[in-house]
Structure 1
Amino acid sequence: MKRILVPVDFSGDSLKALRFGIYLSNKLDCHLRMVHVQKSEKFEIPFHFEELKNEIIHTVQEYFEKLIKLHSADYCVRNGVFDFKIRTGSVYREIVNQAKYGDAYMILMGAYGASGFEEFFIGSNAVKVVTNSTCPVITVQKEFTKGQLKTIVMPIDASTDTRKKIPFVKEIASRCNAKVHILGVHETSDTNVIGKIEHYMKQGEDYLKDANIDYVKSLRKGDNNTYSTLDYAREVNADLIVIMTEQAESSINMFFGSYAQQMINRSEIPILSIPND
């Protein structure tokens, strides 16, 4: 059985990610594992942990045990395991290593964490996890409130790698009964580039059609593919945007390098980043 890994720093945002992780685990039939990374063996009280603010708890392990007790009724995977792991060291390295050696199907994490308590995901840590992970990563923003997936935006550009996200989108859409928006995006008027994008969109369409997944197609030109995608996703009230972590050098600057960071930092909609490997 596959496993979803949810990093938890006991902030409200990381607990939003946990609840979303429970939802996806139920839909995808996955084990669910929480992970907390300490900078040292010394225990610090996670004062942002509102859900158990009246509890007297002395260790990280006790906090996790309380969390499992609090949420176990919502985790409904037959023969599934809902557990936790505590690691010490560099935040992003330990999360990536836990996902790798724990054979995680995906990481689902808050893009921001508790200010003052290990500064868990503040700034570059979320991006570092995304760019170093060998498995897909969903980043959940602080504005996130929905907790379910009904509308997925799948941007398609002119790079060959852009199509690698299609099978993953198909599986999630099928399990969640979600509608997929196949969004072709480009920053040029070159008919060869546009033709290639339309061809890739048709391949995605055929793939989803064969799986009986509801979908629509749209093609948009703009100055910046990241912003074009975000604008479209907001228009259709999307629950998830799926991108590749990196694109080939021949791509038209879609989600390459700083664009992936822009997407994670600017989107209030959860972002699923899929590695090329």
Structure 2
Amino acid sequence: MKKIIVPVDFSEYSEYALEAAAAIAKEHDSELMVMHMLEISDAVLNTGDLEQGEKAVFLLKIAEQKFETFLDKPYLEGLTVTPVVKHFKVFSELAEVAANHSVDLIVMGSQGASGFSEIFVGSNTEKVVRHSEVPVLVVKEKLSSVEFNNVVFANDFSGKSMKAYKKAMTLFKSMNVTPHVLYVNLPSDHFRNSDEIDEKITTFLTKADGNLDNKDNVTVVNDYTVEGGVFNYANKIDADLIAVATHGRTGFLHFFEGSISEDIANHASLPVLTFKM
């Protein structure tokens, strides 16, 4: 893991993300790119009006001053930190920067439970997740550690989720983490018996990994909802991270032949790591 992007708005939640990203960077000898997106309109930037031009320069200088203060943190000492200021709040541009610089991870902060409901229904975080081909780690509070030893990775073992599964396994391997891959068996039309589930998992792993080495790391639970199954199992093993796949068109993941409720985003107290399908 060589490069990590941290989008910031200078809030306390941005600082949670920055500190978490710094800890990860120290573990992996990574470079941090800290990005702030201004909300300067195209009209302000392109106008010939002297007053508007001065306004744009003023906003840029304010951002630079905030950056200087925001990045003056002891936990950043010894790290290579590159501040980046973008004129527009265009989140697809962040994805482009990530692609152009071969970024391995994006770390973002978000408000706690009261505001987290907005993550996948139009918020800044959702927009980043929607456009990013790079995994996105979302944190809602100050993390005591980034040593994620008990990771739950929810998967439906469908062909559509194979891309996300491969990304996840590659990243977890670089982090020396063996995740608990979780399949939630639902009642009604989604229910499968033990033999059907075993066949589904075996077929998926054979295609994705070329072997069945990871089969011992797969857990099947029965629950009424996917989010309930994820939360119950995460609590059972005292997980420190929940990982899920996301759909580029709609934000939060539509999988398990249906859709995951936003309850995972709304109520998860753990950090959430997303992988685009």
TM-score by length of 1: 0.72
Counterparts in 2 of 1:265 and 1:95: CA distance versus 1, 3 Å: farther
The change in CA–CA distance for 1:200 and 1:151 in structure 2 (over 3 A counts) is farther
Shift of residue 207, structure 1, vs aligned partner: 6.5
**CA apart distance, 1:265:** 2.9
Structure-1 residue corresponding to 2:192? 190
Map of 2:270 onto structure 1 = 269
Alignment of 1:216-255 (within 5 A): 216-246=217-247, 251-255=256-260
Q: Quick one: which amino acid aligns to residue 27 of structure 1?
A: E
Mapped contact 1:157–1:197 kept (Cα < 8 A):
no
Q: Which amino acid aligns with 2:276?
A: P
| Aligned: 1:65 with 2:64 | no
Change (3 A) 1:35 1:236: same
User: Any idea what SS the aligned residue of 1:170 has?
Assistant: helix
Q: Structure 1, residues 149-183: CA drift from partner, whole Å, max 9, x if none?
A: 22211122141133333443334434433342121
Task: Report the residue type matching 2:201 in the other structure.
Answer: E
Q: Any conservation in 1 of the 2:158–2:204 contact (CA below 8 Å)? A: no
| Shift, 1:124, TM fit | 2.0
Structure 1 residue 86 displacement after superposition:
0.8
The two structures, once aligned, show a CA RMSD in angstroms of 3.7
Query: Aligned equivalents of 1:218 and 1:176: distance in 2?
Result: 21
What whole-Å deviation, never above 9, does each CA across 1:198-243 have from its counterpart, x for those lacking one?
Answer: 3267558987958xxxx74321122221231122112222222221
CA spacing shift, 1:201–1:233, aligned 2, 3 Å: farther
Secondary structure, counterpart of 2:77 in structure 1:
helix
Q: State the shift of 1:63 in Å.
A: 3.0
**How far apart in 2 are the matches of 1:122 and 1:37?**
20
Structure 2 vs 1, CA of residues 25 and 183 (structure 1 numbering), >3 Å: closer, same or farther? same
- What amino acid maps onto 1:64 in structure 2? F
Q: Which residue identity does 1:72 align to in structure 2? A: L
**TM-score if structure 2 supplies the norm length?**
0.72
Please report how far the alpha carbon of residue 18 of structure 1 lies from its aligned counterpart in structure 2 after TM superposition: 0.8
Q: Which residue of 1 aligns with 2:147?
A: 148
Equivalent residue for 2:3?
A: 3
Deviates further, 13-22 or 35-44: 35-44
Distance in 2 between residues matched to 1:59 and 1:249, nearest whole Å: 41
Paired residues, what number? 247
CA contact (8 A) 1:152 1:173 kept: no
Greater share of residues in helix: 2
Q: Which runs of 5+ in 2 are unaligned?
A: 41-55
Structure 2: distance between partners of 1:273 and 1:139? 8
CA shift in 2, pair 1:27/1:143, >3 Å? closer
